[in-house]
Structure 1
């Protein structure tokens, strides 16, 4: 015969076949299992079918809608420009070299029959910051500007301990990643809010390209990690401010992508080409994917989404493990980069 345990809870008698402590442990275990199973289910569904907000939501009913793309002449920015042009958006191209901007404008106009405008601006130049932002905003006011892609960014030449980092390099990273992004977005936001008054108006989009280094603190890239982490907090605050006004703000978290910044030239399962990364990003605007439970954030590329999800699944435990893995990886990258530099110096002396 089983032993029964009787308890009086809020004036009601409850009979259990196990002690209350055992029942509570089982209940908590079952609740934890359901929570993790639900989280995994949402993650898998988001990867398989989470399409997010379609690009057409940001187009005006009549005429051409324009997208501003910063850092557009290479890598991820170049691919954003190409894919947005292929979707019928006009472009406002922002980069440092007029010749490269002119070449890209001709390419896009010829291939997709759209209009491409350009603005020369160096995001790393603090002296020209406000003047450059004004030049972009002045052009944006002349057309229906509905999208801002904050893509331009700066990182370290190689992983380096914070106390050994060149002060000029820190200034460059903070200026490019923080000051430029905030000031440009501040200048363009009134235009986006004005065109996206709730009702029949189209939505507007501010997409900021972050980094998993802003999601997971990255030793030996401390200054860069700081700026991307700061943008993460800024984006959440900004998104909450303008969501009711029809403006979608999303922060995208890539890991490594083939680009000049990453210095990776060969694609792999976890390192996509810019084309694949951007296609995944534009196809899942607003879908969390790997950024489960984090408002206004997205880790769109499947392999990166899996990394993000796994890091967050165990809370502090898995996040601390990730920090240790990244520290070790960056030590190795720095060691190889220094050896390469030594070989190049030796070759120059010969």
Structure 2
């Protein structure tokens, strides 16, 4: 049977197709979409298997010891940042609430890695001491070559809770710790980083802010916490654009659950790494997007978390809506179990 040809005119030229134009256009759009997804997947797989970030030595001065500020450093993720940066030869400025815990950590790091560890007592949740505490950290930072700021300290809800039922004091605590403290401390330290890194031959400086996938994906029943991490997301992007030309690298890291006091998870799993593994992955991929593909100045470094982040954005609104629904259901279940645990604890106290 002879082939039926379809003739069309385009810009004065005759085009002959073996299929109707509508069929051709649908096939073309389909092929283009498939190529886009295939290209995205290849880039993602390369990013989580072979992609490398800025090596830590780029933030060190050529002479002397470069120091890193780590907030919330006496447990969990912050503790691991302090340990792994010390193991890499950085001096430490440890910031936390308890002098005894800071002293103990300083002794551990100095003994194990032969570095110097300074400490500053500061409660990120105390609004009355905010500016004085920030000034104390900045004063210590000015006495040494400070090249890294790890904004790790954070606060979340005691348990998932509807926003209209959230204790106002809990909201204040979350906003104060996650937003006010982080912005004010970074504001105080940034001039030091800019001065040391602006000349072309100078080492780079780093501001790393630990976020959460709750700031990437709206998280029902953690609305206040999700708000602060989402706010830090846009703040980091704006800040990074301001100082990039001055040699300062600003990046925001998006973890899912990690074994820590905040998550209340005690055992690691495929998707819940230990703090040690999470920090190792993070320090090994500074500036690399990994799961945060296509998003400026952001990173989802841990492989399992990167897969989650990538999957959420894969189908646009459809996959994001599904993610919000899944998180809502998960938080409902967590709240239910947390309330039952609280009931048992109260019953045990009254016996």
Return the TM-score normalized by structure 2. 0.99
2:350 aligned with 1:349: yes
Q: Which residue is equivalent to 1:210? A: 211
Cα distance in structure 2, aligned partners of 1:34 and 1:251: 30
Q: Which residue is equivalent to 1:155? A: 156
Q: Which residue is equivalent to 2:22? A: 21
Give 1:220 deviation, angstroms. 0.3
| SS of corresponding position for 1:117 | strand
Cα deviation, 1:24-80, whole Å, max 9, x if unaligned, reads: 111111111111011111110001011211001100111110000000000000000
Cα distance in structure 2, aligned partners of 1:140 and 1:12: 70
Uncovered stretches (5+) of structure 2, i.e. residues with no partner: none
Give 1:247 deviation, angstroms. 0.5
Give 1:252 deviation, angstroms. 0.2
**Are the counterparts in 2 of residues 57 and 203 from structure 1 also a CA contact under 8 Å?**
yes
Cα deviation, 1:299-332, whole Å, max 9, x if unaligned, reads: 0000000000000101010000000000000000
Cα distance in structure 2, aligned partners of 1:119 and 1:345: 37
Q: Which residue is equivalent to 2:262? A: 261
| SS of corresponding position for 2:264 | coil
Cα distance in structure 1, aligned partners of 2:190 and 2:33: 42
Uncovered stretches (5+) of structure 1, i.e. residues with no partner: none
The equivalences for 1:267-282 within 5 A come to 267-282=268-283
Q: Which moved more, 1:75-84 or 1:194-203?
A: 194-203
| SS of corresponding position for 2:230 | helix
**Are the counterparts in 2 of residues 217 and 225 from structure 1 also a CA contact under 8 Å?**
yes
Q: Which residue is equivalent to 1:301? A: 302
Give 1:9 deviation, angstroms. 1.0
| SS of corresponding position for 2:207 | strand
Cα distance in structure 2, aligned partners of 1:201 and 1:21: 58
Cα deviation, 1:133-191, whole Å, max 9, x if unaligned, reads: 00101110111100000000000000000000000000000000000000000000000
**Are the counterparts in 2 of residues 54 and 283 from structure 1 also a CA contact under 8 Å?**
yes
Q: Which moved more, 1:74-83 or 1:189-198?
A: 189-198
Cα distance in structure 2, aligned partners of 1:187 and 1:346: 48
Q: Which moved more, 1:195-204 or 1:218-227?
A: 195-204
Cα distance in structure 1, aligned partners of 2:247 and 2:10: 49
Give 1:20 deviation, angstroms. 1.2
Q: Which residue is equivalent to 1:114? A: 115
Give 1:229 deviation, angstroms. 0.3
| SS of corresponding position for 1:153 | coil
2:100 aligned with 1:99: yes
Cα distance in structure 2, aligned partners of 1:96 and 1:49: 39
Cα distance in structure 1, aligned partners of 2:176 and 2:3: 71
Q: Which residue is equivalent to 2:11? A: 10
| SS of corresponding position for 1:152 | coil
Cα distance in structure 2, aligned partners of 1:243 and 1:3: 59
Q: Which residue is equivalent to 1:289? A: 290
Q: After the TM superposition, which parts of structure 1 deviate over 2 Å for at least 4 consecutive aligned residues? A: none
Q: Which residue is equivalent to 2:189? A: 188
Q: Which residue is equivalent to 2:65? A: 64
Cα distance in structure 1, aligned partners of 2:344 and 2:80: 33
Matched residues, number: 350
**Are the counterparts in 2 of residues 198 and 244 from structure 1 also a CA contact under 8 Å?**
no
Cα distance in structure 2, aligned partners of 1:3 and 1:117: 82
Q: Which residue is equivalent to 2:32? A: 31
Cα deviation, 1:206-250, whole Å, max 9, x if unaligned, reads: 000000000000000000000000000100010011111111000
| SS of corresponding position for 2:14 | strand
| SS of corresponding position for 1:249 | strand
Give 1:198 deviation, angstroms. 4.2
